[in-house]
Structure 1
Amino acid sequence: MDMHGNLKAPATVTVAKQHSGWVNFDNVADFTLNGNGAIFDGSGSAAWKANDCAKTGKCNNLPINVRFTGLTNSKIIGITSTNSKLFHMNVLNCKNITLQDIGIDAPPESLNTDGIHIGRSNGVNLIGAKIKTGDDCVSIGDGTENLVVEGVECGPGHGISLGSLGRYPNEQPVKGLIVRKCTIKNTDNGVRIKTWPGSPPGVASNILFEDITMDNVTTPILIDQEYCPYGHCKAGVYNRIKAFLYIKLKRRLIFMRF
């Protein structure tokens, strides 16, 4: 499928179905989308002002710009999401899917506009992306296996994050994550792993951050097992994390195992 031109959403802030998408690609196999630089414009500035996540702890009543759900053996090439009302792109329940030459563009004040969120998917490759947004450039949810994130330019934003994990019962393990050859600049965080306090037992394992260059990053590496952004949390920490980190910071090597 070839796409030409741009799509622009209405600026009106309306309550959407939970986790809904403005544009959805669902349950297709052997699918290729050649975007040719096409833009999905969410017209989100009014929504950011109306966002009440900090007060309620819930942020799911606004549409995600583009959702990829249940795709198998597929490629998404050369598309850009700008000014989404909530997350820009969501990849869920996918298998063997490649996203290449992806653009994300929104200002730092755009609340809860994660660039690309990946969850409950196996064999996702994110190869080449320029992400500017008001939240995580890439966020990785439970059930993600064999994920490669390579060649991402992140900033402004909150960095590249595994999690948050453990907010809900029966979350699936995260296994086999590689983040490499990325540049993170002018962000709050670099790479981080975050779980909610009081969460059920869970495991994130075989995680590799390699050859990552950071510039003007407030917290380059953050392992946070008491992530509680809105103050609606239980006490205690139960999640188990097994990780292997290899970080390149301004030509200095930091080698960590824990």
Structure 2
Amino acid sequence: MEPISHWHLIIVFLAIALVSQSLTNVEGRTHYHKRPKNKGSPPTYAPSPQAPYVPPSPAEPPPPTVPSDPSVNPGDNSSSSCVFDVTTFGAVGDGTTDDTAAFMEAWKAACAVESGILLAPSDYVFTITSTIFSGPCQPGLVFQVDGVLMPPDGPECWPESDSNKQWLVFYRLDQMTFTGSGTIEGNGEKWWELPCKPHRGPNGSTLPGPCNSPALIRFFMSSNLVVSRLRIQNSPQFHMKFDGCEGVLIDKLSISSPKLSPNTDGIHIENTKFVGIYNSVIANGDDCISIGTGCSNVNIEGVTCGPSHGISIGSLGLHNSQACVSNITVRNVEIKDSDNGLRIKTWQGGTGCVSGITFDTIQMENVRNCIIIDQYYCLSKACRNETSAVYLTDVSYNNIKGTYDVRSPPIHFACSDTVPCTNITMSEVELLPYEGELVDDPFCWNAYGSQVTLTIPPIDCLQDGEPENMGEVVSYGC
């Protein structure tokens, strides 16, 4: 495969309308003990149409520069002088040799030149230990994996001197692409079997002992990022995290781990703004996509999710903390065989606000808790009811259709006793049993909003208008 060329930047307010594409099913776990056969060149994707939002007012700070669709490669930067093949720096790629030093040397060389490409070629299996690839670097840097890249195989093989909370970290970078036709294999199975993991102990309990497990890929304090086309699988914990980033484009990823693998969120973002997640297939043992505090202007479209725990905002407000999330759009998404569908979850005692949330054109298949707001989220029986809560307002559900698991009502709005949820809008919500009889008792508590059309199953517990004590939540900052 010829190395990909440098992408240009488009300075716009991120909003992309993409045509939904059918993606192949996610494969199961694969063990790598020898060099795999060359699977050929990756498929070619058509450029995705882009439609900018209305620019912000002059009084607002300018938005970050956001990368264009990585499938569009204008210009010609394919000069071999910009390609830094890790095998020329001493990487062996036999699946057992530690190739960390070679990757670090190739990184330094690629980082120092504009449009530099670190290349992990096909037909090799590279093993590296926990590593921080830090910047700043020259613009246009590409980390291209066409072979297989993986960490040591389980806790016993993990170097004691390395962090066991993260594996690959990309730190303080701007204008970087992480891509390729290869696989990031997480070797997570032995981490999942630690006695401390959920349901490993007797009667569904956990056992004491060390429990840290590394997130596979983390982007930290970086901007204008593209992550595309890779297969990422079997992470010990979160597959991919973005923390403190601005301007992120995720496109055509395949993320997979077994349904019962603990805490293996597909994509997690926190304190991150201007994000687009498109045309990807995610199957895992926890949230397909999770959105933490400090996130805004996030667009999710054309994603197939499941089995998983669905798409979640939260959990928010842990340990009485403040949480702010705004302007999140989830559109043209399929969720199947999942424990949850569209979920917003907050802890009692938190503060802050969740606002401007749009769920539009979502297809459900055999999903438990299809639509759920849970402001009593708790992982133990020791949580107390608190007077403060994260305020939820302006949440829209439109064209939500499909089937649900009858073990739970498909619609569940459990809002705080003292801080009600307001301006919940429901339109064209039609959910039928996957099997069994219709569950016609949706749950609402202190939830206010309106039904533009009648829902299936009928919901009559959503209160009209606004609560009388709305003045008390003005200070929440929405």
TM-score by length of 2: 0.50
Residues 24-53 of structure 1: per-residue CA shift (max 9 Å, x gap): 1111111122222x2111111111111625
Aligned residue in 2 for 1:73: 224
Change (3 A) 1:222 1:254: same
Whole-angstrom CA distance in 2 between matches of 1:35 and 1:236: 48
Between the aligned partners of 1:147 and 1:56, the Cα distance in structure 2 is 38
CA contact (8 A) 2:263 2:286 kept: yes
Are positions 1:103 and 2:248 aligned together? no
Q: Deviations over 1:156-188 (max 9, x none)?
A: 011000000001454341011001110001111
Q: Which residue among 23, 44, 52 is the counterpart of 2:188? A: 44
CA pair 57-191 structure 1, distance change in 2 beyond 3 A: farther
Match of 1:186 in 2: 337
- Number of matched pairs: 255
Look up the match of 2:152: 10
Q: Matches of residues 81-160 of structure 1 in structure 2 within 5 Å?
A: 81-160=232-311
Identify which of structures 1 and 2 has the higher relative contact order when contacts are C-alpha pairs closer than 8 Å and 6+ apart: 1
Over the matched positions of the two proteins, sequence identity in percent amounts to: 33
Gaps of 5+ in 2: 1-141, 199-205, 404-426, 431-448, 451-461, 463-478
C-alpha distance in structure 1 between counterparts of 2:289 and 2:360, whole Å: 16
- Separation in 2 of the partners of 1:59 and 1:100? 35
- CA-atom RMSD, angstroms? 2.5
Q: 2:428 is matched with which residue?
A: 253
Tell me which amino acid in the other structure corresponds to 2:402: K
Q: Any idea what SS the aligned residue of 1:46 has? A: helix
Q: CA–CA distance in 1 between the matches of 2:148 and 2:396?
A: 39
Cα distance, 1:109–1:171 mapped onto 2, change above 3 Å: same
1:231 positional shift = 3.7
Q: Which moved more, 1:234-243 or 1:118-127?
A: 234-243
Indicate conservation of the 8 Å contact 2:145/2:183, yes or no: no
Match of 1:203 in 2: 353
Q: Which has the larger radius of gyration?
A: 2
Give per-residue Cα distances to partners, 1:129-179, cap 9 Å, x unaligned: 100100010000000010011111001011000000001454341011001
The residue that corresponds to 2:176 in the other structure is: 31
**C-alpha distance in structure 2 between counterparts of 1:59 and 1:166, whole Å:** 26
Q: What is the Cα deviation at residue 200 of structure 1?
A: 2.3
CA–CA separation in structure 2 for the residues paired with 1:139 and 1:59: 25
Deviates more, 1:80-89 or 1:68-77: 68-77
Q: Is the partner of 2:339 in helix, strand or coil?
A: strand
Counting strand residues as a fraction of each chain, which structure ranks higher? 1
Q: Secondary structure at the match of 1:250?
A: strand
Distance change in 2, residues 1:216/1:59 (3 Å): farther
- Separation of aligned partners in 1, 2:235 and 2:195: 12
Q: SS of 1:30's equivalent?
A: strand
Q: Is 21-30 or 228-237 further displaced after alignment?
A: 228-237
Unmatched 5+ residue regions in structure 1? none
Contact 1:150 1:180 in 2 (8 A): yes
Question: Where is the helix percentage greater, Structure 1 or Structure 2?
Answer: 2
**Secondary structure at 2:175 match in 1:** coil
Aligned to 2:54: none
Pick closer, same or farther for the CA change 1:236–1:169 going to 2, 3 Å. closer
